[in-house]
Amino acid sequence: MDFRHSYFNSIFWPRLKRNKLALLGGAVVLALFLISLLAPLISPYDPSAINAWKVLSPPSWQHWFGTDELGRDVFSRILYGARISLKVGFVAVGIAVTIGTVVGLLSGYYSGLVDAALMRLVDIMLCFPAFFLILAVITFLEPSIWYIMIVIGLTGWMGVARLVRAETLSIREMDYILAARCIGCSNARIIFRHILPNAVSPVLVSATLGVAGAILTESALSFLGIGVQPPTPSWGNILTSGKDYIEFAWWLSLFPGLAILVTVLAYNLLGEGIRDALDPRVKR
């Protein structure tokens, strides 16, 4: 534990601080997290409030991002949409990381028949295009944010499993793992107490990048009309309403599109920065 604390203070954090783009991405991620938490306090209007007198109003001092076809404030809907997008990202990635980590640990530690069976399962899952698999599953289910999170998580764990397996194959040959076996530690203790903490680096990077992918997938599903259903605000379904009025209500497409772009870019920058800071081959 002391070694990991020392590594964070002496190597990881100084490297990460020197990466300005990663810090910018982290600042944006933190800001989005705070916005999602404080949306009820900072939102100027009720995101579901209909105002027939303000239909498709352009951006103004009263409505910073304009209004939609029902007179609802777009800025308020984007603020609340951040809560949906981040919830989907974190829950879906949590499911994917949990499954992928367990599969990777078991596959790398036991090898042999267990490794062969689990890796063939990974290969089979990778044969299916992830987005179309999600699309097919969601089509047969009732549209629900929980179904979306679960399906995205269940179709996104394969990359994590392969990364954790590779780390586990290397770590299990270390002297301290042999010493743990010699003193009679159980396999479960070796896996989760000694191997997992030292294999967490690729998981952290994959999780950070995975949140961006999950947000993008949820936005795409909502845009197609099979994701988060109105009147619940989501960046994807705000874009859906915007495409019908894009010729004269450009703000309905511009602002949610920018929200998706900035969020995905921020997570990618942060993930790349964490990966570089954890990679001993990268000298900064």
Q: Does pLDDT of 2 surpass 60? A: no
Q: Does pLDDT of 261 surpass 60? A: yes
Contacts of 36-40 with C-beta under 8 Å, sequence gap 24+, read: 36/79, 36/82, 36/83, 36/86, 36/87, 39/79, 39/80, 39/82, 39/83
Could you write out the DSSP letters of every residue in 202-238? HHHHHHHHHHHHHHHHHHHHHHTTSSSPTTS--HHHH
Structure confidence at residue 281 (pLDDT): 52
Token readout for 112 is: 């042999």
What pLDDT band is residue 283 in, cutting at 50, 70 and 90?
low
What is the value of pTM for the model shown? 0.83
Q: Which fold has domain 16-33+68-278?
A: MetI-like fold (1.10.3720)
208/276 Cα distance (integer angstroms): 13
Asked whether 16 and 22 are in contact (CB, 8 A), the reply is yes
What is the Cα 40 distance to its own chain's centre? 23
Average pLDDT on 187-209 reads 84
What pLDDT band is residue 5 in, cutting at 50, 70 and 90?
very low
Please tell me which residue, 45 or 144, carries the higher pLDDT value.
45
Q: Does pLDDT of 180 surpass 90? A: no
Give the contacts of 231 (CB within 8 A, at least 6 positions apart): 48
Per the DSSP assignment, residues forming a β-bridge with 67 are 73
Structure confidence at residue 266 (pLDDT): 92
What pLDDT band is residue 202 in, cutting at 50, 70 and 90?
confident
Give tens-digit pLDDT for 97-120.
Answer: 999 999 999 998 887 898 899 999
What pLDDT band is residue 11 in, cutting at 50, 70 and 90?
low
Q: Does pLDDT of 59 surpass 80? A: yes
Asked whether 134 and 221 are in contact (CB, 8 A), the reply is yes
What pLDDT band is residue 10 in, cutting at 50, 70 and 90?
low
Q: Which percentage of the chain shows pLDDT scores above 70?
A: 93
